[in-house]
Structure 1
């Protein structure tokens, strides 16, 4: 929550330059009333013209009266000026959530400049600080710049405090001249600047890596530097841009430095957790493998504690070397302790859920998985299994659910009876541990093939949906699909992502005809994917196709019905074979299957879905795939398929009505369309899935927030 208070400067508001400033100096403070006022006074004396910069002060819920002191300081500075251009822009905000990252985010939301300059509240800046910083940006074209940070001793420097320890106090002087920062060196956390556009593109600050009152982490700037580099931005260093960092007497103690080293070790381990490329592999490690990662850290700590410290004591080495070993011990212990905590529980990332994608062999689930990773989410996949150690590590933290199990098309899981029981038990356990369960239902052949052999599959899917906190349905009429009130209240309709580019490089139509044994003079070709239908549905289609051929609707154009694969409920269908023998326009390719879909798609003009009047029938992904590749879709008027495709790309008919299907088959010969340029771009598989995941992320956050208050039973 951000609370803004306008300053009593109404008489001077009109004097503000209309143009946006170049710099937005963001100064975050917490319980340092006197120090932040001194920093403000330094900014007031900058040589850069006032119209080129603004100052945003963010009070991070201080309890020492900092906010009121800032208000009084700014009000006292608001007397009328005699000369134009002497008014400086400064605002004061309050951020109630504790944490430096939250305060910096609040400052960014209020900033209007191009470059954000972040300063600690216990720093001084040279009067030419902003002027030289602006020269650096204009000369180098950098995206982020950090200057030199020197130290100001407010108490005598201890004799044992060597130069190699000064970085723990904020000292930053890696080079003597201006240069590009190498990969191994990050921006200074005490004083740095970055383009606001680049900062937003890189994802901003990571709150759990930033400093908080009870956890003084200090890795958010290092993490940001790495993300900026990965995004292709350039980071520069200029020693002429000078900042002075205060070093008070309490910081010149061994206890303070040991605390800094300890939290640095913990911060580095937490920063490694944010590596999205390594997360999927680390999330799937077995408990034994994860425990083995502790051994190197423990070995290092024991060597320092038992060997190095003993040898230094026996050799009567200097106090400085004793302190160095103590710092190394604190750093090593921090790494070990944080690694051990990660084995027990992953950190709760604000507004960023952790996803376990449970899916079968659906190729579209892989598009979802890749899009989730590109969105910057911690996502892993273990097929149709749910590892117990994943459940334990992602259990709710202090009543806040942080993990989501997303079951994508649970009806498509090819599981034995014992595997179904195991998966249902783990979903029940996930409920008990405070995890949220999300399911996606896009329909499948098991709904329209009403064979008793597939009843356990339908029952399993229904039970998974009933135990989900959120059900995502690729349907515009979800209320007609789900009869149970409990389930209907948790259904959220989503448009199905497009799939143009999902298949391998399509082959030429002439080659497809040749491989399928078709003649190029056979005219309009209807395609039916027999492996997604029952024998009765296919016989129904053949009869409708024959009726169309024998009716007065038939014109001079030749037609062909192409059946790919075998009926789902019958391996050998004599009835279909007999009709194929009597009708030369019926072409059977029973040995082909899903892997041959690109071949069949290229050879066809229209896809036919011959479903009966079953409310749950229909497969949205197949209809969307053929539409994405400019094929007409002939589909029954069922809840899953109505409204899925635009009118020019589909023909709907009354399900189970042979005459209606025959009319639809005839109409398809006269309905031809091509994608517009805008339509073609919107059907790209990567772009469409990325847009779908952005909507999905909002639903993830909403369900986490909702079930924090009212967990599912």
Structure 2
């Protein structure tokens, strides 16, 4: 799919949702990068998720940056979905762009590259890549075919993973760190569903997956575009580089997928996951096992991590489905 280039970009609201002072430096970096864009956003909305101290500091630091900057509290239930829905209440741009508070656009053309795709009226959503910035080295237990390239389990740390398209393509859903939507259609759909997304440090997810699927169900001709050349650098905190997080995040992914399956049906909810589990992950296990057998024993941890992640996700999915039945 070739990039659509228009003469006039639509108006845009860039949204950064934040919940903790622990990410202050990353949040400041994200705000600065948005304000340096070659094609400035119509407005920048920083939404603070039920943290009064962070809200006060953000207002002091960011509001003097210009009239296009707004800082607001989450007026919906606590959590990322609520914060994003608060931004939808306030946003005025034709396109709403969501950037994680620990992600920084790599290029000053990041925003214009996203918006250019919307010259095609069939495009309802556009997203890009998220590349990890590790606190130290890449964890040995995360598999990768080529050093410096995405691995099969990099989604666990919120980043682009092996198995996603490597050229601009239509996809089922986008990743939350670097995504955008036409505002009116998602507002008409009621925005993000609460209860399946991240709340503080609780590693649930998939609220953007559910919205993308619901968008396609209600607008069958809508295109959701992934352009891997539109890159943000995504900071990975030290706690996410430990095996315990791999297990907890995988389990939470299963729980979230069970919630989505209840909302929109298991066929749409698990279509991409079935192909990923059947094709991509077995290759990773075989590659890592072979590398270990050829004299690189540390690579065995990559195979173990894949099997453990699948098991934890499956257990979470089963628990999610059973808890609903028993409830």
Name the TM-score class by shorter chain: 0.7 to 0.9
User: Is the counterpart of residue 234 in structure 1 residue 202 in structure 2?
Assistant: no
Which residue does the alignment assign to 1:325? 307
Alpha-carbon separation, structure 2, partners of 1:269 and 1:58: 28
Instruction: Check whether the contact 2:19–2:200 (CA below 8 A) recurs between aligned residues.
Output: no
Instruction: Check whether the contact 2:247–2:308 (CA below 8 A) recurs between aligned residues.
Output: yes
Indicate the SS of the match to 2:152: helix
User: Is the counterpart of residue 131 in structure 1 residue 131 in structure 2?
Assistant: no
Aligned residues: 276
The match for 2:48 among 59, 65, 69 is 59
User: Is the counterpart of residue 111 in structure 1 residue 91 in structure 2?
Assistant: yes
Which residue does the alignment assign to 1:158? 139
The match for 1:248 among 237, 242, 267 is 237
Instruction: Check whether the contact 1:35–1:121 (CA below 8 A) recurs between aligned residues.
Output: yes
Which residue does the alignment assign to 2:168? 178
User: Is the counterpart of residue 206 in structure 1 residue 188 in structure 2?
Assistant: no
Indicate the SS of the match to 2:204: coil
TM-superposed deviation, 1:248: 2.1
CA RMSD of aligned residues (A): 2.5
Q: Which has the higher contact order (CA 8 A, sep 6+)?
A: 2
Instruction: Check whether the contact 2:95–2:180 (CA below 8 A) recurs between aligned residues.
Output: yes
Alpha-carbon separation, structure 2, partners of 1:198 and 1:212: 25
Alpha-carbon separation, structure 2, partners of 1:109 and 1:76: 23
TM-superposed deviation, 1:35: 2.1
Indicate how the Cα distance of structure 1 residues 74 and 237 shifts in structure 2: closer, same or farther if over 3 A, else same: same
Indicate the SS of the match to 1:28: strand
Alpha-carbon separation, structure 2, partners of 1:99 and 1:264: 16
Alpha-carbon separation, structure 1, partners of 2:201 and 2:157: 19
Indicate the SS of the match to 1:145: strand
Which residue does the alignment assign to 2:255? 266
In structure 2, stretches of 5+ residues that fail to align are 1-9, 144-150, 268-284
Decide which structure has the larger Cα Rg and report it. Answer: 1
Which residue does the alignment assign to 1:337? 319
TM-superposed deviation, 1:110: 0.7
The match for 1:275 among 254, 264, 284 is 264
Instruction: Check whether the contact 1:44–1:88 (CA below 8 A) recurs between aligned residues.
Output: no
Which residue does the alignment assign to 2:279? none
User: Is the counterpart of residue 189 in structure 1 residue 176 in structure 2?
Assistant: yes
Which residue does the alignment assign to 1:99? 79
Instruction: Check whether the contact 2:63–2:69 (CA below 8 A) recurs between aligned residues.
Output: no
Indicate how the Cα distance of structure 1 residues 333 and 137 shifts in structure 2: closer, same or farther if over 3 A, else same: same
Alpha-carbon separation, structure 2, partners of 1:276 and 1:257: 26
In structure 1, stretches of 5+ residues that fail to align are 1-20, 78-86, 279-307, 346-713
TM-superposed deviation, 1:221: 0.8
Instruction: Check whether the contact 2:196–2:207 (CA below 8 A) recurs between aligned residues.
Output: yes
Indicate how the Cα distance of structure 1 residues 42 and 328 shifts in structure 2: closer, same or farther if over 3 A, else same: same
Which residue does the alignment assign to 1:70? 58
Which residue does the alignment assign to 1:408? none
User: Is the counterpart of residue 147 in structure 1 residue 136 in structure 2?
Assistant: no
Instruction: Check whether the contact 1:123–1:243 (CA below 8 A) recurs between aligned residues.
Output: yes
User: Is the counterpart of residue 224 in structure 1 residue 204 in structure 2?
Assistant: no
Alpha-carbon separation, structure 1, partners of 2:201 and 2:233: 26
The match for 1:38 among 24, 29, 36 is 29
Which residue does the alignment assign to 1:27? 16
TM-superposed deviation, 1:325: 2.2
Alpha-carbon separation, structure 2, partners of 1:156 and 1:231: 43
TM-superposed deviation, 1:166: 0.8
Alpha-carbon separation, structure 1, partners of 2:263 and 2:120: 34
* Deviations, residues 32-90 of structure 1 (Å, cap 9, x unaligned): 33321221011111110x3x521111100126x2112211212553xxxxxxxxx5501
Q: Runs of 4 or more off by more than 6 Å in structure 1?
A: none
TM-superposed deviation, 1:334: 1.0
Instruction: Check whether the contact 1:27–1:56 (CA below 8 A) recurs between aligned residues.
Output: yes
Which residue does the alignment assign to 1:545? none
Indicate the SS of the match to 2:317: helix
Alignment of 1:132-531 (within 5 A): 132-139=113-120, 141-162=122-143, 163-172=151-160, 174-181=164-171, 185-213=172-200, 215-232=202-219, 233-275=222-264, 318-345=300-327
Alpha-carbon separation, structure 2, partners of 1:122 and 1:214: 13
* Deviations, residues 130-165 of structure 1 (Å, cap 9, x unaligned): 111121212574111111222222221122211111
Alpha-carbon separation, structure 2, partners of 1:236 and 1:344: 38
Instruction: Check whether the contact 1:28–1:120 (CA below 8 A) recurs between aligned residues.
Output: yes
TM-superposed deviation, 1:276: 7.0
* Deviations, residues 428-472 of structure 1 (Å, cap 9, x unaligned): xxxxxxxxxxxxxxxxxxxxxxxxxxxxxxxxxxxxxxxxxxxxx
Instruction: Check whether the contact 2:63–2:71 (CA below 8 A) recurs between aligned residues.
Output: no
Alpha-carbon separation, structure 2, partners of 1:140 and 1:197: 13
Alpha-carbon separation, structure 2, partners of 1:248 and 1:276: 34
Alpha-carbon separation, structure 2, partners of 1:210 and 1:105: 12
